[in-house]
Amino acid sequence: MAAIEMVNLTKHYKQGKNVIKALDGVNLKIESGEFVAVVGRSGSGKTTLLDLLGLLLRPTAGTVVIDGVDTSKLKDGDRATMRGESIGFIFQEFNLLPTLNALENVMLPLRYAKKDPQGPARARRLLDEVDLGDRVTHKPTELSGGQSQRVAIARSLVNNPALVLGDEPTGEVDSETSDQLLDLMRRMNREHGVTFVIVTHDMDIAQRADRIIRLKDGKVASDEPIAARELALS
């Protein structure tokens, strides 16, 4: 499980003579095993935050500390290794390779990690856990949107990551399938003890997280545990 601390996390982009403040001094802590939803309008900094947590970007200032590791001090190769071994990703558009079947897609991250003789067996087990044990040889064109995202969820867990990041992971499916996928992610969160951070525009999805972090103009506008907020409203 991953504990995360963001300290003065800042990401600025230059656009001509202007500076775009995608993130502007974010300070947050996420406990191991939490399921956190990040919400906010377009341009609020949600995707930038996710990319910084996933070590896909370097911050302009500040740092991300993951399980005690100050990632700002890591060289590019070490960042790539940490990303491949400790972080799983779920994308809105699934990002499955069309020429590979479900099992082969789940096993893709194993190509970039250290040799793991248990990897193939774990990939099959994960497909069973997401109720796709009978679809291991099916290619993405033979799967529904919900099934494709189940493959993506299994893929995100195949390297036994401490952290899984989801970028609108239910954005391409209908509401019923969205609920089913969230149930699945929450079950994976509990059973595998993995920390989940998902970006979503769907407040019905966000309400089922442990905690909702709302961004506005690159800053934290609010940070509320669900239980505490529900208690305040009761």
Angle between helices 119-129 and 145-157 (to 10 degrees): 140
Specify whether domain 4-233 bears CATH 3.40.50.300: yes
Distance CA 27, CA 84 (A): 25
Domain boundaries, the chain: 4-233
Q: Does residue 214 sit in helix, strand or coil?
A: strand
Token code pair at residue 156? 């995100």
* Band of pLDDT at residue 150, cut at 50, 70 and 90: very high
Which residue reads 């390779």 in tokens? 97
pLDDT value of residue 227: 62
Distance CA 170, CA 181 (A): 7
Using an 8 Å Cβ cutoff, are 196 and 189 in contact?
A: yes
Strand pairing category for 61-66 and 4-15: antiparallel
Query: Quick count: other Cβ atoms within 10 Å of Cβ 190?
Result: 11
Distance CA 86, CA 160 (A): 7
Higher pLDDT, 125 or 171: 125
Angstrom distances, CA of residue 117 to CA of 78, 107, 111, 122, 130: 23, 12, 12, 9, 22
User: 23 forms bridges with which residues in the sheet?
Assistant: 11
Q: pLDDT digit string (tens) for 14-70?
A: 888 898 999 999 999 999 999 999 999 999 999 999 999 999 999 999 999 999 999
Q: Does residue 60 sit in helix, strand or coil?
A: coil
Threshold 0.85, pTM exceeds:
yes
* Band of pLDDT at residue 2, cut at 50, 70 and 90: confident
Q: Which residues contact 19 (CB under 8 A, 6 or more apart)?
A: 12, 13
Q: pLDDT digit string (tens) for 105-134?
A: 999 988 876 666 677 899 999 999 999 999
